[in-house]
Amino acid sequence: MKALITNIKSFESYKFNQLYTSVEDCISDLMLIDITKHAFKQFAKGQDYIISFQKQIRSGQELSKKQITMLKRIAREIIYYLANIQNKNY
């Protein structure tokens, strides 16, 4: 994550390369999300993708090009979620 961003509206227009230096960085952040936590269950956008991407990566499979495209689309949500977790210590 390039920066700690606490307001999703403040970076809605950012492109993926302004948020992450690489897809691998985004995947690293994706894997930091604990899907068993209560806070994650309140996290609406991209929740199903995050769960399925984590399962696939943990099983040793790589994400397809279409999945990477979707990962890039939800990158802002990943950053926002992690920023809130870090600030609120869920």
Tell me: the pLDDT tens digits for 33-76?
A: 887 776 666 665 788 899 999 999 999 999 999 999 999 999 98
The pLDDT-based confidence of 30 (bands split at 50, 70, 90) is: very high
Looking at every residue in the chain, the average pLDDT score rounds to 81
Q: State residue 10's pLDDT score.
A: 63
Show me where the domains of the chain are located. Answer: 14-88
Q: State residue 90's pLDDT score.
A: 45
Which residue would you say has higher pLDDT here, 7 or 19? 19
- Rounded CA gap, 13 and 38, in Å? 29
From residue 58, how far is each of 1, 43, 71, 87 by CA, in Å?
A: 20, 21, 16, 27
